Chain A
């Protein structure tokens, strides 16, 4: 097992290098660069630049070098100094920009992830155990609504209903008072209320997939010989469901965790913009739009690392969950 993990970790290095080149190349592909978007943004605010000033800015930001030179310098900074470059938009180091929103992003995404699994697993099991019942149809219907409705639309609908009911727009996770005075105990109820909207909006979008996967897998497992044997031997339904069927049914759910790591880091982008959540997703979008390439590149690179790590962790978890995988690895 250790040898397997070691081999996979070593494979990370060339994979990441290739990914980083692709990322940098793709970010550079659109015409223009940060200076053009910066000049345009300033022009819209009434500030005009001369062509000489624009060239000066380009030289100042090092954008007059070919893209591969810029890539080489960027990678050199990361490898030798742990320096991920400079965010033109924020006017400071990329890492400090990422750290600004990291904890909140992790917290929000983790809560949403837990919500998705806590809600979906029991529903999936229930639906499998009560196939074609009213409960099965009703819960599946709700799950499908969550998936079928675009997150941003769901967010707008919920916010509209809240505004009509309360006269307040719950934009963002923090009220002005919380931002002014910092978090206090008296703000906790409002904060939790504000959290509920993104949890519902983003969380429900992922539940349907998990519900359907668990339901299908459980039904498959329930029809297998070992389940019949267990039942014939007089095992209780709870033991059959949770000890045998669920363990096997969880395999595809666990593999799906690989993608979740990436999501936890960046959060949902479009929904976060609609709800004005100060998480990583909108930063990435803004960086891509303004061609703030080191910031965008670093976020995508970290996402790539997390996908790789997530895949590895999934494989390890699968091997732990499923003895067949362990044995085949030894074999």
Chain B
């Protein structure tokens, strides 16, 4: 009996110890940057972190050391500073999967109509106020539904009938999103369309109410009080403060770095500005060190990419994406700079993409551009091997507009479709498309009207140089061309008035990592400046183009993942069959030039807007070691 009691006691003690293990784990000691300790105003780091901080534990990461400044150059763009530090509820991994980020996790019911999102208990905004489900629910119900941020209800929050979801708070760390019809891709769509799904209610509640009540002057005064900026109207203010929030000082965020509030350093339109570490950042490394490692990101505003390169070369700037033509210069410089090559997501090199406006307002050109024989001829009349060598100095190879290796729909056949160089066949195809050879050695329309392919491009995009190489091929095949490059704003305006016939190096190139997640450049009607479909939409599209749009609608209404993939493949097959856009050279990788003192930069990755461009590099994990 005594032995039994002793045994039971030992067992109970063991169970108790085992039970305490998680608690002991929770008691794990966290450390903070000396930069914060030195300020002595933030208290214990444990109290600033959530109970379960997110651990950045990717295999390529090493445990870093605190301190230092990351220097960057910038053109004052909105996203340039925003994307690298953006934190959404969920985020993409380098493999294309969605993983929890600000959210701790989620659950979904069987028919994919109710999503329950779980947040991290104890998480705080960068001003130290608690971040709760209230911030998420308020953001949707007040900001989105009243369109205060100028973006309104995003597609990710609409069901198959276009009705907005119902977002409700369950408790401080849980909220639900309910749809009228199944919404199987909500999490992915949210990560692409909206990303953050929250705003600091404690800062904006009064302001938003003033906007809703029509008290515009009061709202503007509150806006000025919050970020020191005088806005012209509430519409502009709402979008700037609630959508481009990282651009304004004084607005709390969950990002690793927040814009300084110090005069002279707090305006992205200024000569210099800096983002300083968020003392309440909620991520740690595997050693329990609160991230980020680097104290601040300093931006020096410059006028152009040449200046960015110069600053990179002399070591003033630590990080910059560069063109392949700059790499030899970088490698020769005395500053130690590492080059990392990431793959891109467009269908071929954007600089060699040729987009025919399939909805062009010209009775001769529209049927011609819509004729696959014409596009086929335009594709094979170019010697890609020679063109690629001239265009990229041997860096890239000839290719076609097709998904990149590894992307859904990729096939070697598609990437090499219509790529064989055959001028005689091209001429046959032009004739099959209804063109007749004129006395001047150039093709005309069957009724004798001159056919001239008027190509336009954005000034200074590099298209002028590309055209110089392309034009002799077209001329040799009997296609008379003109080329004009002019200001981007005017190109866009012409595109919106359907006044453009053909575009080289379009502002929005075709292709992205997924036609499902971001169909804008691949399905007519989803964006305003895609050259190949111009102003075409579902009402004006015909044939396979109409079918493509219908498949997109079908995709939106389909819940089954396999069926969705099948539909996406059908959409891509339509592209492969029709080749609505052409491209002559494979996509150039994205080259990251990173000063050798910066560590933890991932060697591989994918540059895509969906992944927030360099967002996959997770700059909160970078550290400096000379």
**Chain A residues in contact with chain B, CB under 8 A?**
30-32, 36-37, 39-51, 53-54, 56, 60-61, 86, 89-93, 96, 100, 159, 163, 167-169, 171-172, 174, 176, 179-180, 182, 273-274, 276, 278, 282, 289-291
Q: Which of A32, A89, A171 contacts B302 (CB 8 A)?
A: A171
Complex Cα spacing A171 to B150, Å: 38
**B236 on the interface (CB 8 Å rule)?**
yes
Closest to A45 in B: B79
Q: Is the beta-carbon distance between A37 and B492 smaller than 8 angstroms? A: yes
Q: Which of B119-127, B438-446, B523-531, B591-599 contacts its partner? A: B523-531
Distance of A245 from chain B, by nearest CB (Å):
45
Complex Cα spacing A46 to B614, Å: 13
Q: Is the beta-carbon distance between B492 and A60 smaller than 8 angstroms? A: no
Which residues, 281 to 302 on B, are CB-close (under 8 Å) to A?
Answer: 298, 300, 302
**B271 on the interface (CB 8 Å rule)?**
yes
Complex Cα spacing A282 to B76, Å: 13
Complex Cα spacing A36 to B490, Å: 7
Distance of B50 from chain A, by nearest CB (Å):
30
Complex Cα spacing A290 to B77, Å: 13
Distance of B254 from chain A, by nearest CB (Å):
21
Q: Is the beta-carbon distance between B230 and A92 smaller than 8 angstroms? A: yes
Q: Which of A37, A93, A169 contacts B489 (CB 8 A)?
A: A37
Q: Is the beta-carbon distance between B529 and A43 smaller than 8 angstroms? A: yes
Our count of residue pairs bridging A and B at CB distance below 8 angstroms stands at 130
Q: Which of A41, A90, A168, A174 contacts B269 (CB 8 A)?
A: A90
Tell me whether A60 and B493 are in contact in the complex, defined as CB-CB below 8 angstroms, given that A163-B314, A179-B264 are known contacts.
no
Q: Is the beta-carbon distance between B507 and A40 smaller than 8 angstroms? A: yes
Tell me whether A32 and B492 are in contact in the complex, defined as CB-CB below 8 angstroms, given that A40-B529, A169-B310, A169-B316 are known contacts.
yes
Complex Cα spacing A290 to B492, Å: 12
Distance of A289 from chain B, by nearest CB (Å):
7
**B235 on the interface (CB 8 Å rule)?**
yes
Give 1 or 0 for each of B348-359: 1 = CB within 8 Å of chain A CB: 000000000000
CB-CB under 8 A from B150, the residues of chain A are 53, 56
CB-CB under 8 A from A276, the residues of chain B are 302-303, 307
Which residues, 586 to 626 on B, are CB-close (under 8 Å) to A?
Answer: 609, 613
Q: Is the beta-carbon distance between A179 and B316 smaller than 8 angstroms? A: no
**B334 on the interface (CB 8 Å rule)?**
yes
CB-CB under 8 A from A289, the residues of chain B are 487, 489
**B455 on the interface (CB 8 Å rule)?**
no
Q: Is the beta-carbon distance between A176 and B494 smaller than 8 angstroms? A: no
Q: Is the beta-carbon distance between B272 and A93 smaller than 8 angstroms? A: no
**B169 on the interface (CB 8 Å rule)?**
no
Closest to B269 in A: A90
Distance of A105 from chain B, by nearest CB (Å):
13
**B42 on the interface (CB 8 Å rule)?**
no
Distance of A248 from chain B, by nearest CB (Å):
44
| Apart from the given pairs A36-B489, A43-B492, A179-B265, 11 other A-B contacts in the complex at a CB distance below 8 Å | A31-B493, A37-B487, A44-B507, A50-B528, A54-B496, A56-B150, A60-B233, A159-B310, A171-B310, A176-B316, A276-B302
